[in-house]
Structure 1
């Protein structure tokens, strides 16, 4: 069914992915986290989301962690009310220079800084409930964003939004690297067995959930290099106007890295939720 939906989307000019990352990828990251937090933290998440009406966004509910995972994108449709958060979803760290967040996160307006801020808000029970509910929704979403590599790495093209590329046999004006990693590749990776949504062992969690948010930023930035290189014959920093090409064989090689990003995002989010709400 997912392949059929993919083909249908292609035939209408890639107007929208069958499951954009902001749906499929984010919900997968959230579901992994929910399965891997402690029972006590799961209960705390439930208590906070039970108060989601305080957000006063009825067209963008956050009743479950999956709904919360897409709330931050949904509220973009509400106009200027949440426009202050636009830059919080990404950080344009050049893949063609040494990694640094300095200068790439002005005044804390980037995804990694907002993740750290949201954790602090969740930890502080003196913060009004409404603000803690919002912090939870933002945190769940931003951890998904950070692990979509083209929200973490860039080469002056808006995280691949201006990087045209084919995807297997498909091409189109609206198809670019960001769209591919947001939607088509995310869906293909997430639906490839075995399911990513399960309880992971302690050793599996320990292998990926250590380090800091900056470490995770660097990790996703490295995968962004792979994203560009895969479409440009192994050269991540080729000419900016060069049309990218992802063959079927190339796509197959990206499935596991894309799955790993979702898994890492979910387990790292679980760690932060355990620390903030445990």
Structure 2
């Protein structure tokens, strides 16, 4: 019966589930909002309540932290208006080569560079309110994306999207290595007790939230190599599969705690980034630059 219900649930999930699961992004936003400073939480909620008329995206809601966490995926369906953001959701760092973030982030078109950019936009006193609202929403979303292993490292297969796979006994036309991590595996990690929705202790926040964005990128890349690929394929950098692969129940059991750890890290680290972004001591007015004269 459990397998039947799981299979039924997977079969009715739309193809959009291949974006890092809406459920998971919302979970990360919830963890973060439980762990930001009270003044940060008030500022965020006020900004988001005021955001809808600024954004003018009635198809895609962003009036709460949970809605904001999925807005950047939703607007990718609005055609050319937001097509420029497509490369900001991931970074294809080769898991079979030494870690090289610079090569994967040319011109800032990758998720880690965009996280740092959104923080600076929020700290910049001269940025208009509409751009600040978008920066806040993108920051909430991108910290989640960075902690999804297939968004942080791959084998030249679009983050596992090109690797058709089954989730234990369950098969569906939209399932692949990427979507398994984005949806059923992530949802299992979040719903497995104990609940991740709590206020973490100062010691936990210090441990989970430590490091730089580059450090977090490396961790995600390692998780992609050692869990997403190695556990699914037997070895991370062996021959590429020529047909569908089966992510076995045994592999899933080992993947769940990795995914759970990444989600908790994402929530606590997002809280840290939001506190820093809205810290009055870090606000700045950029130095004036000489007028642009073309050429």
Q: Name the TM-score class by shorter chain.
A: over 0.9
**CA 1:155–1:46 in 2, change beyond 3 Å: closer, same or farther?**
same
Indicate the residue corresponding to 1:49 in structure 2. Answer: 48
What SS does structure 1 have at the residue aligned with 2:165?
Answer: coil
What SS does structure 2 have at the residue aligned with 1:138?
Answer: helix
Indicate the residue corresponding to 2:287 in structure 1. Answer: none
Contact 1:148–1:181 (Cα < 8 Å) also in 2: yes
Indicate the residue corresponding to 1:188 in structure 2. Answer: 188
Q: CA deviation at 1:11?
A: 4.6
Indicate the residue corresponding to 2:282 in structure 1. Answer: none
Indicate the residue corresponding to 1:272 in structure 2. Answer: 273
Indicate the residue corresponding to 1:128 in structure 2. Answer: 128
Specify every segment of 5 or more residues in structure 2 that has no aligned partner in the other structure, as ranges: 280-295
What SS does structure 2 have at the residue aligned with 1:245?
Answer: strand
User: d(CA) in 1 for partners of 2:159 and 2:131?
Assistant: 29
Q: CA deviation at 1:173?
A: 4.1
User: d(CA) in 2 for partners of 1:180 and 1:158?
Assistant: 14
Indicate the residue corresponding to 2:258 in structure 1. Answer: 257
Contact 1:32–1:198 (Cα < 8 Å) also in 2: yes
**CA 1:100–1:2 in 2, change beyond 3 Å: closer, same or farther?**
farther
Contact 2:18–2:179 (Cα < 8 Å) also in 1: no
Give the number of the structure whose alpha-carbon radius of gyration is greater: 2
**CA 1:182–1:239 in 2, change beyond 3 Å: closer, same or farther?**
same
Contact 1:17–1:183 (Cα < 8 Å) also in 2: no
Indicate the residue corresponding to 2:293 in structure 1. Answer: none
**CA 1:221–1:125 in 2, change beyond 3 Å: closer, same or farther?**
same
Contact 2:7–2:171 (Cα < 8 Å) also in 1: no
Indicate the residue corresponding to 2:33 in structure 1. Answer: 34
Q: CA deviation at 1:20?
A: 6.5
User: d(CA) in 2 for partners of 1:173 and 1:142?
Assistant: 27
User: d(CA) in 2 for partners of 1:3 and 1:194?
Assistant: 23
Q: CA deviation at 1:42?
A: 0.4
What SS does structure 2 have at the residue aligned with 1:121?
Answer: helix
**CA 1:212–1:11 in 2, change beyond 3 Å: closer, same or farther?**
closer
Specify every segment of 5 or more residues in structure 1 that has no aligned partner in the other structure, as ranges: none
User: d(CA) in 2 for partners of 1:220 and 1:2?
Assistant: 31
Q: CA deviation at 1:22?
A: 3.0
User: d(CA) in 1 for partners of 2:19 and 2:196?
Assistant: 17
Q: Deviations over 1:3-62 (max 9, x none)?
A: 7653213456x6548896331110111110000000010011012112112111111111
**CA 1:272–1:2 in 2, change beyond 3 Å: closer, same or farther?**
farther
**CA 1:11–1:87 in 2, change beyond 3 Å: closer, same or farther?**
closer
Q: CA deviation at 1:82?
A: 0.3
Contact 1:94–1:154 (Cα < 8 Å) also in 2: yes
Indicate the residue corresponding to 1:143 in structure 2. Answer: 143
